[in-house]
Chain A
Amino acid sequence: MDKNFKDAINRRKFLKISALWTGGACIITIPGFTATPYRTLGRSEAEIMDALADAIIPPGEYAGGKDAWVTRFIDQQISSNGYLQHDHDLYKTCLPAMNNDSRGEFGTIFTELDENYQTEYLQAIEAGHYNSGAATRGWGNFTPSAFFNTMRNHCMMGYYGSPIHGGNRDYVSFRMISLF
């Protein structure tokens, strides 16, 4: 327990510091080398996650999932010292699989679909229509609908939870519901 307390505190301090450092900038460019501020997700994985976050919580009067740093929340939590580290492989496998699996039905990858088609595609995944034979389409041992449910829940945590965990940038969700 004590160890956990310390971890939680250290983590919080670290997040505060890292928030200061990264500020609003999302990409640091060094000539010949492009890095992302993420610990676990690569550039293309982060882009897919951003698109998903915006599909789950779309932008409007208040920021969508992407601008609220939901991807940053998930990246931090599935990293080796995050609370959701057990879901690391789930994301690493399912993000690219999910992005590619729209080709058959929609003719292109998820991130390039229009919003309406993205919604239609995700509704089909949620309903389990892509579960059959998923392993042969890159989903490994994971079930598409189960991934969707977990990812949806994590988006809610990242958007509506405390910013100390990496999401809910500038308390956007609290402002949206006029909590303050």
Chain B
Amino acid sequence: MANKHVNAIVVGSGAGGGVVAKELSYAGLSVVLFERGGWAKYDDHGDDELTAQRSFPLACFFGPDNERYRRVAVDRQGNKRIVYPNDWAYHNIAACVGSGTVSYGAMAWRFMEEDFTMKSTYGDVEGSTLEDWPITYADLEPYYEKAEWEIGVAGDDYQNPFAPWRNKPHPMPPFPHNREGKLLEEAAKKVGYHPFSIPMLRNSKEFDGRSACIHVLNCVGFACPVDAKNGTQNTVIPKAIETGNCELRIHSQVVKVLTDKSGRATGVEYFDKNDNKHVQTADIVILAASATETPRLLLNSATNLFPNGIGNRHDWVGRNLQGHAYCGADGLFEDETFDGTGPGASVAVCDFAHNNPGIKGGAMLANDFIKLPYAYTGTRPPGAARWGREHKDFQKNYFKRNASIRGPVQEMPNFESRVEVDPDVVDHWGMPVAKISGFKLDEDIRTAEFIADKAEKWLEAAGAYNIWKSIPGTGVSGGQHQAGTCRMGNDPQTSVTDKYGRIHDVDNLFIADGSLHVTNGSFNPVLTIMALGYWVSDYIVKEWKGGNRFR
């Protein structure tokens, strides 16, 4: 039986898509929200580190699965390799209702004003497509606020002298620090940094009918056992469904955006859980499938009118793939830093996010989440034994006597870091898979070295007696912070969408995920993706209420 025509299709139920589904259904539009996975619950997964979304050495419990999904990774020499979702080179994003917002660490950063004006702040960078966003922090500020209050953030920006201005405080008080956090807070002050409690999409008190955080160790990479971590799956998506206007269609893999002879979007083609092919039509289509899968969908939807893929007239779809050039330092301590209070990652400084002499951009710095036992086997100083007695003694002696400081260095986007589709390799449904290639610029490594020095200095002040820095390699970035592959802009020749996330060529086709990011900030990007979900929705709803039916 044919599906009933609806007003809007949203592809992907993560940070961006979940928000859009709620906003449009509240405005009275009929919505189908597509999700390729199902519901991911703590009770089904528990505390299994080996399949958690943090390091997934065995498999990704939160999806995607290794049976039906694959990609092609291309190294710097041009060698192609087929990779599966639990390989780092796959750059996976969770495939479940809420996507990464179920299992994330939940840092709730607003980008700073400079993060939207990188080109005018820092000028040209050799080899980079660095550009300003077509919108400013002031444009997005009300939508950050909406994300913070509707989804739920605990924090206090007034502790952070570098925080961008805001109209309203966070809805929940900030989290206190555990033993390691307190130690590092004091140490930061000692070296003149300005530490504060990281804003978190996690409940520091009961919020919106859900409980307060109980501080388990297994937080990042896991679903929360008491539902105290806020994602789209337990906030905006249930609210959208409650309106009666939104149908969440799970286990449904969208493979193509359909367009008519005039080049307008008419709907999507998808496969249900039994691999039966269907069509869903709509007045508006919004893609929020991640910075890898959104461009792949556009490229796989080529027609006579769009021979290189939808929105790709000027070859910008899939370009400028970026994540963060993570760097930092690890240190060992005489006394225990561990007090059993999870999840760690509570203290940060923004002293080095911008305004670093001779450096373009920078990063916030924060202590890392507590590493779990398997992950900790990969944390060793250079030259230390990776196995044998020395390995075992190290694990025993230092699991509770360590700290890590990490910073997501903002990358300078480059045109050659990209997502393409590979016609020679297809997925379970016969669609060409994403092919990922590219590299980081020298500038990113230089910034990472600068930031890692600041992390080292912080750990020294905390009394660590063995400190080693980590500098990222030059391989293409992406991962769970993937962004930039369908950048927004005012010039259709150098961007994929307009400033409202609308594909330049197609009036009723929008994007609402990290693909839109022109640059990816000095911070974890999820709150910005949520804010963009509200921003894009607000434009669509205003048009709709003004009588535009996008037909």
| Chain A residues in the interface with B (C-beta under 8 A) | 1-5, 8-9, 55-58, 60, 62, 77, 83-84, 119, 122, 152-153, 155-157, 160-162, 164-165, 173-174, 176-179
Contacts and interface: CB of A to CB of B under 8 A. Distances in A.
Contacts of A161: 48-50, 57-58, 373-374
Interface residues of B, number: 37
8 contacts: A1-B37, A1-B95, A55-B387, A56-B387, A161-B58, A164-B46, A173-B373, A177-B396
Contact of B57 (A1, A58, A153, A179): A153
A152 B387 contact: yes
B386 A162 contact: no
A15 B95 CA distance: 26
Contacts of B49: 160-162
Contact of B59 (A9, A83, A119, A122): A83
Contacts of A173: 373, 395
Nearest to B253: A1
A16 to B, nearest CB: 12
B61 A8 contact: yes
Interface centre among A4, A155, A164, A165 (most CB of B within 10 A): A4
A58 B96 CA distance: 40
B400 A177 contact: yes
A5 B44 contact: yes
Q: Which 3 A-B pairs have the closest CB atoms?
A: A160-B373, A177-B399, A83-B58
B44 A177 contact: no
Nearest to A148: B387
B132 interface: no
A174 B395 CA distance: 11
Contacts of B4: none
Contacts of A8: 44-45, 51, 59, 61
A1 B96 CA distance: 8
A62 B392 CA distance: 10
Interface string B44-68: 1111111100000111010111010
Interface string B356-395: 0000000000000000011011000000001111011001
B400 A84 contact: no
B206 to A, nearest CB: 28
Interface in B57-116: 57-59, 61, 63-65, 67, 95-96
B549 interface: no
Interface of B: 36-38, 44-51, 57-59, 61, 63-65, 67, 95-96, 251, 273, 373-374, 376-377, 386-389, 391-392, 395-396, 399-400
A177 B373 contact: yes
Given A153-B57, A156-B374, A177-B373, 10 more contacts: A4-B63, A4-B67, A8-B45, A8-B59, A157-B58, A160-B49, A160-B376, A162-B46, A165-B50, A177-B400
Nearest to B60: A4
A7 B217 CA distance: 26
B377 A156 contact: yes
A2 B44 contact: no
A157 B57 contact: yes
Contacts of A176: 392, 395-396
A67 B63 CA distance: 33
A55 B61 contact: no
Contact of A1 (B63, B374, B376, B389): B63
A177 B50 CA distance: 18
A2 B68 CA distance: 12
Which of B273, B373, B376, B399 is packed against the most chain A CB atoms within 10 Å? Answer: B373
Given A1-B37, A1-B64, A1-B65, A162 B50 contact: yes
A157 B374 contact: yes
B503 to A, nearest CB: 29
Nearest to A9: B44
Contacts of B48: 161-162, 164-165
Nearest to B340: A179
Contacts of A77: 58
